[in-house]
Amino acid sequence: MKSIPIISLYNLSCRFREKVAVDNLTLEVNAGEVFGFLGHNGAGKTTTVRLLNGLLTPDTGRMRVMGMDPTTQGPALRRRTGVLTETPALEELLTARDNLSIYASLYNVPRNEIATKVQKLLMTFNLSDRADDRVRSFSKGMKQRLALARALLHDPEILFFDEPTEGLDPLAAHDVRELISKLSHEEKRTVFLCTHNLAEAQQLCDRVAVLEHGRLLTSGTPMELVRQLADHMPARVDIEVSSPHLSAALDTLRAVPGLTAHAQGNDSISLPGIEHEMIPGLVATLVAASIPVYRVSPHEPSLEDVYFALHVSTPSGS
């Protein structure tokens, strides 16, 4: 039996005067998954998150989040969701500890649990040593970590993250990705992830949806989308040879009918548009010509390739 989605949108549209922000959007998100919401600035991602949290009212269509209608049950819904916006508003004249404590009270966290929960989150996001400093002295990355901690204060069932690793150094970004994975796979929470980081989306997301000008272009698992593109985009293969043999290797490969070979640096050859079945024979040909082959690296299409292929094939403003 198919499970009931925790988030569902049916023919949802929202416009601001003449601008259509969300255009007839239909999609479903399953409980416990990391769902990637991909699109350029202005694609409608933030508007969709506001609609799903009852902060905006759609013009047409319907939606349900945990069985509730955000339009009529917004306050009750927001007590069960956590939201991290791309530019989170923090009380910069207050300390990090005070920021979390105040919001814990607003979220109705039991008073006797607030101090412990705040301290735990400060430690989780490496803010303990600055807990009693005013937030206005924090770097952008520190503010982002504090905003993430705030989104988790009330143990929400669904988390809406908008560019959660933006502004973080590589180590902090890695920690946030690990946290997102843990929230989903260990704690069974649902993460709705808006991101421009396509490599991050491919690493973290169980499924993704690609949006343009408020319209859904495609959705599915990253692997499904990559396989669809791979059917129309043969893989590229790079072959590393010894530097003194590069010229001979190029001549040998270019002699193969229908094959295109380009030098990359002093010891690598790129073969675009090659089928996997050809690789063993090409390597055998090089070895037979006494050319040492050190590495063969196939390059499959990535989610980034899918994203750009979709946007190239969809005219702007269509």
Q: pLDDT band at residue 3, thresholds of 50, 70 and 90? A: low
Give the model's pLDDT for residue 14: 96
Residue 100, CA distances (Å) to 37, 153, 172, 186, 234 in order: 28, 8, 20, 24, 51
Kindly report, residue by residue over 91-117, the tens digit of the pLDDT.
Answer: 999 999 999 999 999 999 999 999 999
How far is Cα 157 from Cα 163, in angstroms, rounded to an integer?
19
Residue 306 has pLDDT above 80, yes or no: no
Give the model's pLDDT for residue 1: 44
Give the model's pLDDT for residue 228: 75
Contact between 125 and 164 under an 8 Å Cβ cutoff? The reply is no
Which of 1 and 102 is assigned the larger pLDDT? 102
Cβ count within 10 A of residue 262: 13
Give the model's pLDDT for residue 211: 92
Q: Average the pLDDT over 146-157 and give the result.
A: 93
How far is Cα 83 from Cα 164, in angstroms, rounded to an integer?
10
Q: Average the pLDDT over 124-151 and give the result.
A: 92
For the chain, give the mean pLDDT. 89
For 318, the token pair is 């269509």
Closest of 311, 249, 300, 312 to residue 274, by C-alpha: 300
Contact between 83 and 156 under an 8 Å Cβ cutoff? The reply is no
Give the model's pLDDT for residue 150: 95
Which of 232 and 86 is assigned the larger pLDDT? 86
Domain locations along the chain? 1-80+156-230, 92-154, 234-299
Asked if 1-80+156-230 and 234-299 have one fold, the answer is: no
Residue 197 has pLDDT above 80, yes or no: yes
Q: Average the pLDDT over 119-125 and give the result.
A: 93
Give the model's pLDDT for residue 318: 36
Q: Average the pLDDT over 7-13 and give the result.
A: 97
Residue 247 has pLDDT above 70, yes or no: yes
Residue 226 has pLDDT above 90, yes or no: no
- Gyration radius from the chain CA atoms: 25
Give the model's pLDDT for residue 303: 81
Question: Given 3.30.70.3400, 3.60.15.10, 3.40.50.20, 3.40.50.280, which CATH number is that of 234-299?
Answer: 3.30.70.3400
Q: Which residues contact residue 27 at a Cβ distance below 8 angstroms, ignoring those fewer than 6 apart?
A: 8, 9, 209, 216, 219
Residue 258 has pLDDT above 90, yes or no: no
Give the model's pLDDT for residue 68: 97
Cβ count within 10 A of residue 30: 15
pTM: 0.79
- Residue count (the chain): 318
Class of domain 1-80+156-230: alpha beta
Q: pLDDT band at residue 121, thresholds of 50, 70 and 90? A: very high
Give the model's pLDDT for residue 62: 96
Which of 199 and 128 is assigned the larger pLDDT? 128
How many Cα atoms within 13 Å fall on the side-chain side of residue 100? Answer: 31
Q: Average the pLDDT over 172-198 and give the result.
A: 90
Residue 10 has pLDDT above 50, yes or no: yes
Cβ count within 10 A of residue 47: 23
Residue 267 has pLDDT above 70, yes or no: yes
Instruction: State what percent of residues in the chain have pLDDT above 70.
Output: 94
Kindly report, residue by residue over 20-45, the tens digit of the pLDDT.
Answer: 999 999 999 999 999 999 988 888 99
Which of 273 and 72 is assigned the larger pLDDT? 72
How far is Cα 295 from Cα 272, in angstroms, rounded to an integer?
16
Instruction: State what percent of residues in the chain have pLDDT above 90.
Output: 64
Classify strands 158-162 and 190-195 as parallel, antiparallel or unpaired: parallel
